[in-house]
A and B are shown apart, each in its own frame.
Chain A
Amino acid sequence: MISELAWSRSAMIGVAIILFWVFVGVAAPVISPYSPTEMHDARLQSPSPQHWLGTDHLARDVLSRLFWGTRVVVALAPLSVLLGILIAAPLGLISGYVGGKLDTLIMRGVDILLSFPTLLIYILIITSFGPSMLVVIISISLGSIPPITRIIRSLVLDVRTKDYVSAARLRGEQRRYILLREILPNVSGPIIVDTTIRIGYAIMAIGALGFLGLGIPPPTPDWGGMINEGRQWIFAMPWIVLAPAVALSSVVIGLNLLADGIREIAQQR
């Protein structure tokens, strides 16, 4: 499958961007010129040879903070989404396959939760439990569960009516076998595409929360937080906010390109 990705130009560009940022995140301690919390001499300095992106209002090196901020994004976003899938997948599979009253119940719940504006859920949870990395992860997972459940359920419904599933029933296959060996492998394609896009949403959500001041508490560098802090100084030194904004956008663009590429390849088949 990975080798097939080379077919699509969008996928390749997307992968390149993502790999770049993953590398930056992993290697941040090594490649950052300074520590992200170290305070230097001059505040709000424009970009210079010593500080490629300048310094912020606390005289910290913006570039280093940018690199270190990658870690939060690169780690938390996929983690939250995977946590969400872990809960949503069984729900969606069972709801779609078993049907009946259980399905109606689960879907009612999902529909109601989907009506609740996502950002408001996050704000509510974080306010009640205090901002921390764990709370952010849990909020985003909870926010992803309803839409993922819905998608998986509709995919399962689609596959469930296929004749090869009926053939499996006629052979006397166990329910578990049918779910895991007949249905799941045939829904994994669209799920991978959706997961990729959802990680993008998670990144935007983490950024938004940081921007609103509800994200990871300082001094941990976080792109959204940087934008929030640097907002007041935008006229003096716009790079404090521009750098993380560009970085965040590029990661999401990369993920969307990858998702588009995977979709293209699946259609080509």
Chain B
Amino acid sequence: MIKPPKAPVLSVEALDVVYTTRAGPVKAVRDVSFEISPGKVLGLVGESGCGKSTLAFAVMNYVADNAAIPAGRILFCGRDIVQMRSRDLNHIRGNEIAMVYQDPMAALNPSMRIGPQLTEVLVQHEGSSDIEAREACIRMLERVHMPDPGAMMERYPHQLSGGQQQRVLIAMALLTNPALLIMDEPTTGLDVTVEAEILDLISELKHEFDTTILFISHSLGVISKIADRVAVMYAGELVEQASVQGIFLHPRHPYTVGLLACIPKISAGTQRRTLRPIKGRVPSLRELPSGCVFEARCDRAHDRCRLDKPDIERSGDGHLVRCFYADSPDPAEQQAVQAAPADAELSAIGDDPVLNVEGLKAYYKAKDRGFAGMAGKYRKGFVKAVDNVSLMAGKKSTLGIVGESGCGKTTLAKCIAGLVPPNAGTMDFIGIDVAKEVEQRPVDMLKELQMIFQNPDATLNPRRSVGEAIARPLQLFGTVPKPEIRNEVLRLLDAVRLGEEYYDRLPRQLSGGEKQRVAIARAFAGRPSLVLCDEPLSALDVSVQAAVMNLLREFQQEYGTAMLFISHDFGAVYQLCSSVSVMYLGQICETGPTDALFEPPYHPYTEALLSAVPIPDPTVERTNIRLSGTVPSALDPPTGCRFHTRCPRKVGPICETETPPCRGEKEGHQIYCHIDIEELRSMRPVFSAAQ
């Protein structure tokens, strides 16, 4: 007997959200329809600016002052939210529909203790007394695994870690056992291991409370982990909706296909393929095409796509697509099959070393605000950002440095670059000693060591045109004779896929991805021997990241440059790097060729990281290693092995007292751990047998 389907908790029908601006109306959300069945999770995925957050807030009828919902219905348990007035809305918000936000620190009132921020929900909606509310909140904090809940109630938000703050927000949302939970990028600002814990928590609570969830994220990896059904959003429209298996294994809309093709997929055994970025730019929401919104960037587009707007087609298993040619074969994919695997050209590091760092230490002074601080004296505290790091980088190869926030990788990059002076250790760069600040280094070697930075908005001088920015290093380093500088700049612009018309543009006229490309052209202009990349992709959209990664590869091929690629994104590191070092609290715990890192032996930290990294593939099976506690302060790091406070494989007191020895061959795969190499080799692999 077939069970009649239960009524959906949320049913959105043909929703529009429009902003009125001075330059005209902006249709941020257009004709969006979806349903969420009780107890299910709908993952809404899309890149920045696609309107997913606007949509999320609109579900509670919360729109900006200059925005409105001109059309559509939002049926929540049968009632239309669009038509509701404030009193009814106030009754529903925080009570029957609750929300968890992206930046937990900003979402909590900095001047109010945690306790009152939690209890007011119950006082408002359930009429509880302060005492009853307080007890209920403490119980809820226990359920979200918050250590020492009673004390937490008295703290201020800034005294909690990011993960703890998010748990508070989740607890706050679940206090009234809402029918619908909206989660707007709840793990985006968190470290990978913390993200995994929070996602685990969400799954656990979902089962316990049987909540229906609308989960928004730009990360396909996270969505594949948590969602039952997925909706893909592009420039304000839903272009595809299907079960999570359907989206990842049988994507039909060209945008979805394109997205999946430009994300690196990591698991042992899958071959590294060339990433295929999606060409073009997202259309401005003020000047939308009259036909299909994705047409300009689509490989399968025909004339029809420009003239008519496709309707939503439904196929048997609940798979919805908005495309005329959803099932035609993808032309690019066929080409890719013939392309040679891109990693054939990556050489191992030891072949031709360019940079040799040994025992590097870089400390910061900690400030004192007491009496002595008045005269500018500091207390004797040092933040040991980089503590005894050794690494090597070689020609035509890329060393990746992976770690979570606070591990010191940015300080490491700055130290190698010379922006921050080292406290101890040696750095040998093509025969020159560079263990000093950049102003003290010999001038003629400066052109050999350049850097690409994380924030595209701060990487270019706002007053300088693109052409000037790229020409300057050419002038200083004399890479080409003066009369040829302009041509060389144009050549570089072309290499980063920017046309001639960009020569005179100013940074504020460029998108984030374009600015980063200019930064790459600028860094490679002098044909350096080594380029340091400090999280160059973090601020970019997924489709743009692929383009930038390809560019880095191309430049490396052309000039034979060595690269040091710092990132918290395992996928990017897997894609670009021939070797990887894993960093924790100022020290390297494991170094080795990239492929070797994905199989045992692992350092226990690497094992936990691999187990936590979001992978855009719902079929991947992994072990579930989770770390306890939070990252200790770098002011007073743990003795012995720094990881011992959180290590699930801690051996015993030796981990607390002695520095771990190096296991493995010096030039190959090294792991710094007290567990001996045989036992490490016999660890259970994080990734199950390859697909």
Contact = CB atoms under 8 A, between A and B. Distances in A.
Interface string A168-195: 0111110000000010011000000000
Given A104-B376, A182-B461, A185-B463, A172 B476 contact: yes
Interface residues of A, number: 16
B327 to A, nearest CB: 46
Nearest to A101: B376
Given A163-B458, A164-B459, A166-B419, A172 B446 contact: yes
A170 B472 contact: no
B451 A166 contact: yes
A171 B419 CA distance: 11
Interface in A184-235: 185-186
A186 B419 contact: no
A170 B443 contact: no
- Which of B417, B443, B461, B463 has the largest number of chain A CB atoms within 10 A? B461
B491 to A, nearest CB: 20
Given A104-B376, A163-B453, A186-B463, A170 B458 contact: no
B467 to A, nearest CB: 15
Given A164-B460, A182-B461, A269-B508, A169 B438 contact: yes
A170 B462 contact: no
Contacts of A173: 476
B459 A167 contact: yes
Contacts of B455: 163
Contacts, number: 51
B461 A186 contact: yes
Given A170-B449, A172-B446, A163 B438 contact: no
B418 interface: yes
B458 A164 contact: yes
Contacts of B519: 167
Interface of A is mostly: helix
Nearest to A163: B453
A173 B522 CA distance: 15
A8 to B, nearest CB: 13
A171 B446 contact: yes
Interface string A29-45: 00000000000000000
Contacts of B463: 185-186
Contacts of B476: 171-173
B453 A170 contact: no
B558 interface: no
Interface string B442-474: 010010011101110011111100000000110
A266 B65 CA distance: 23
Nearest to B417: A170
Interface in A49-74: none
Contacts of A171: 446, 472-473, 476-477
B439 interface: yes
Interface string B371-395: 0000010000000000000000000
Contacts of B451: 166-167, 170
A167 B439 CA distance: 13
Given A172-B438, A186-B461, A186-B463, A166 B473 contact: no
Interface of A: 101, 104, 162-164, 166-167, 169-173, 182, 185-186, 269
21 contacts: A101-B376, A162-B458, A164-B459, A164-B461, A166-B414, A166-B419, A167-B453, A167-B519, A167-B522, A170-B418, A170-B419, A170-B438, A170-B446, A170-B451, A171-B446, A171-B472, A171-B473, A171-B476, A171-B477, A185-B461, A186-B462
| Closest 9 pairs between A and B when the two form their complex, measured CB to CB | A163-B453, A104-B376, A172-B446, A162-B458, A164-B461, A163-B459, A185-B463, A163-B458, A166-B419
